[in-house]
Amino acid sequence: MATAFWADGARLDALVTVPWGRVPGHAAMWGYIREALVHGWDLAVATGQDVEADPNTARAALIETQQALPAEPRGGSIPFAAPVDPPDGAGPTERLANWCGHARP
């Protein structure tokens, strides 16, 4: 059922209500993908597991996030910390988490 919904271009363009406001369906989809990847990265770091998700999904989410979420301004009504420089050799999931202001302890 979800696959059919996301495959429908009209639904992806339609406005939907999500916790961060009223946005087109495609923005909601990317928002939820970003949330799952970034907070999955947080959990993997905290528990000592592999931090990288599917690289194609993470790369696509990173590209979308860099377009949708500017480096500045952050904070206030934009609930993201400033981007963090990724460590050498960081994969796309870690780079996505870093862009969203998350860093390893």
Residue 21: inside a domain: no
pLDDT band with cut points at 50, 70 and 90 for residue 8: confident
Average pLDDT, the chain: 92
Q: Which among 47, 37, 32 is positioned nearest to 91, based on CA atoms?
A: 37
3-state secondary structure of 104: coil
pTM: 0.88
Tell whether 102 is covered by a domain: yes
- Any domain includes 15: no
Query: pLDDT tens for residues 49-93?
Result: 999 999 999 999 999 999 999 999 988 878 899 999 999 999 999
Segments forming the whole domain that contains residue 105:
57-63+83-105
Name the least confident of 7-11, 13-17, 42-46, 95-99.
Answer: 7-11
pLDDT for 104: 94
Please give the biggest Cα pair distance in the chain. Answer: 42
The verdict on residue 48 lying in a domain is no
In a domain, 39, yes or no: no
Joined together, the tokens standing for residue 97 give 């988490």
